[in-house]
Amino acid sequence: MRIILVHGFKASPQMNFHPWLAGELRKAGYEVVTPILPLSDGENFDLTLVMEKMKEQVGYLKSDDILLGHSLGGLIALRYLESIEMTQTPHAMVLVGAPWKVSRPELRPLFMADLDADVLMWKAREFVIIHSKDDTLVPFEHGERLAEALKARLVVTTGDDHYMGERYPVLLEEINRLISIPHIFEPGEGLPDDFS
């Protein structure tokens, strides 16, 4: 199993919870990929370059991959899921404190308004949104909107703000939960059919 941890805006794999989570997952025997992305300068944000860096460092997605994106990294992971050619459906996509949208026009291409959620929700076997009720950077309502659009399971925490500290056991617990559940059905099976 491979876990892909995508950092957020003005961050890196050496910041926030990423070193701790990567270390815990590696200790448990999992392959962990922590791409380094050019997300330090919003005014010169280049989505094409970011996707090229993801492809170089992550490659094709496989059926036992779990992607976890923090903050803006969650939307980078969604964009990658939308754009990459796939022959297999990844195990899960986890979005931690991810925004629904922001007001910065240069970052607009990332947001759900420009993503086809009806197609995207079939590109991973399970979507999970983790959002703290007291997030001061990305209001909790953003997590609720993402969960609704992606038919995702919403994991609500309190006291974690924007997950910019060193350790959040809920993240490890959620990844372990996803790993422990075998998927023996097709993506989307069991969801209500909006067209019937």
Find the mean pLDDT for residues 12-41. 94
3-state class (DSSP) for residue 90: coil
Is the pLDDT higher at 101 or at 13? 13
Mean pLDDT, the chain, whole residue set: 87
Find the mean pLDDT for residues 16-28. 97
3-state class (DSSP) for residue 84: coil
* Residue range 106-155, pLDDT digits in tens: 666 665 556 666 667 678 889 999 999 999 999 999 999 999 989 999 99
59 CB-side CA count, 13 A: 5
Alpha-carbon span 73 to 190, nearest angstrom: 29
Q: Given 3.40.1190.20, 1.10.3720.10, 3.90.180.10, 3.40.50.1820, which CATH number is that of 2-180?
A: 3.40.50.1820
Residue 153 · residue 129 · CB < 8 Å: yes
Residue 77 · residue 67 · CB < 8 Å: yes
* Residue range 70-91, pLDDT digits in tens: 999 998 999 898 888 777 889 9
Range of lowest pLDDT (10-14, 44-48, 105-109, 149-153)? 105-109
pLDDT bracket for residue 156 (50, 70, 90): very high
Task: State percent of the chain over pLDDT 70.
Answer: 82
Task: State percent of the chain over pLDDT 90.
Answer: 60
Among 59-63, 156-160, 186-190, which range has the highest average pLDDT?
156-160
pLDDT at 15 over 90: yes
- Kindly state the tokens that stand for 75: 């939307």
